[in-house]
Amino acid sequence: MRKFSWVLVVVLAFSVHAEDEKVVVVGSADQFKGITAKKIIWKKDGAVMMSIPASDTIKPFWIDATEVTVGQFKKFLELSGYRPAELIDWEGVSEYSPSDKHPMIEVNWHDATAYAKWAGKRLPAEKEWEFAAQGGLKNKEYPWGDDESLAGDYANYDGTGGKDKWKYCAPVGSFKPNGYGLFDMAGNVWEWCQDWYDSDEDTRVLQGGSCLSNTPDLRVPPRLSGRNPLIRKYSYGFRCVSGLN
């Protein structure tokens, strides 16, 4: 019996190692050619990125599997020398998103754009974000489908009830992913996109809802929010993409 147990441990260890070897580390978009994997590691910030196929309106691209974390943003500040125009409220970050594995918050559009540029990526276009959020589903209301009762399995929002272990933001990846392997495309924090919200060009698009949102804000199809790109809030975060618009 003991011999069988050791054999089983060896087999499992080999399987995990073999699985890890399949993850390709990528340093720039120029290296995407020939990659067939669905998941990569982005070298600069260590982010896991997932492959998103082309649609009628967008080219294929890669997107961070999770929102950029507090730990990743601290690394960016340390290595890049970037200094926000106004100081980030780190006390607020500690209160609402208290660990390095929580989403970075209190960032405005310019902070998010600076991080993306440093990492060699960019913010998603609105149409890219929406397509990725759908997770391969078509004409569905939420990233997981049309069943609102499943929201608590996929999103940190105002209504998760007994499943909500966190007062505000949850560590990234705490809920189920959508069909493309993306976490928190609904809830947790609003996510900045590249686009202007309207022709006045005074607000930028935010998508996805936050930990304080109700279920209507978790829907994918409508463009839900636009805010001044200079504003920082504890419910604003972001994730990055790489690839052509």
**98-131: per-residue pLDDT in tens?**
999 999 999 999 999 999 999 999 999 999 999 9
Q: Which CATH number does the domain housing residue 178 bear?
A: 3.90.1580.10
Which are the contacts of 177, defined by CB distance < 8 A and separation ≥ 6? 65, 135, 183
Residue type, 105: I
Q: How many domains does the chain have?
A: 1
Distance separating alpha carbons of residues 127 and 211, to the nearest angstrom: 23
Distance separating alpha carbons of residues 234 and 189, to the nearest angstrom: 8
Would you say residue 126 lies in a domain? yes
Give residue 224's pLDDT band: very low, low, confident or very high (50, 70, 90).
Answer: low
Would you say residue 63 lies in a domain? yes
Would you say residue 169 lies in a domain? yes
pTM of the model: 0.88
- 187: containing domain: 23-242
Q: Does the pLDDT value for residue 160 go beyond 90?
A: no
Would you say residue 6 lies in a domain? no
Would you say residue 181 lies in a domain? yes
Quick one: 198 exposed, middle or buried, by C-beta within 10 A (0-12, 13-18, 19+)?
A: exposed
